[in-house]
Amino acid sequence: MPQFEQLIWQEKLTFVAFSATWCPASRQMEPIINQFAERMSHRTDILSIDIDDPHFEAVVKRYHVVSVPTLMFFRRGEMLWRESGAVSYHHLMTILEELEEYELAGHYY
């Protein structure tokens, strides 16, 4: 869990994907998240969390992750966006761009 805390409290956006190996939608999202991580690692850190991993039990409970996949963006410890269910690569890109534009426009989270 220290890696989680360290990542979400940084200045750089952090994308967190909660999933489960037994979940078909999580398996469907895996290549999309991998593509997003490969192409966007210079813009956001990416952390994948298996909700069944006992090391992340407290994080799963804290953020009330009850369905998977659940996707979130954080910055400076604040959750900026959250969505559950499978989404497209394009949708993730749109959210990332909106979050970046919001801050560039002088708004702060």
Interstrand relation of 78-84 and 70-75 (parallel, antiparallel or unpaired): antiparallel
Distance CA 20, CA 90 (A): 22
In tens, the pLDDT along 61-101 reads 999 999 999 999 999 999 999 999 999 999 999 999 999 99
Going from N- to C-terminal start, the domains of the chain cover: 2-100
- The single-letter DSSP state of residue 91 is H
In 3D space, the residue among 39, 38, 49 whose CA is nearest the CA of residue 8 turns out to be 49
In tens, the pLDDT along 8-65 reads 999 999 999 999 999 999 999 999 999 999 999 999 999 999 999 999 999 999 999 9
Question: What topology is assigned to 2-100 in CATH?
Answer: Glutaredoxin (3.40.30)
Q: Which residues have C-beta within 8 Å of that of residue 96, sequence separation ≥ 6?
A: 13, 15, 40, 43, 44, 73
Phi and psi dihedrals of 39, rounded to 5?
-90, -25
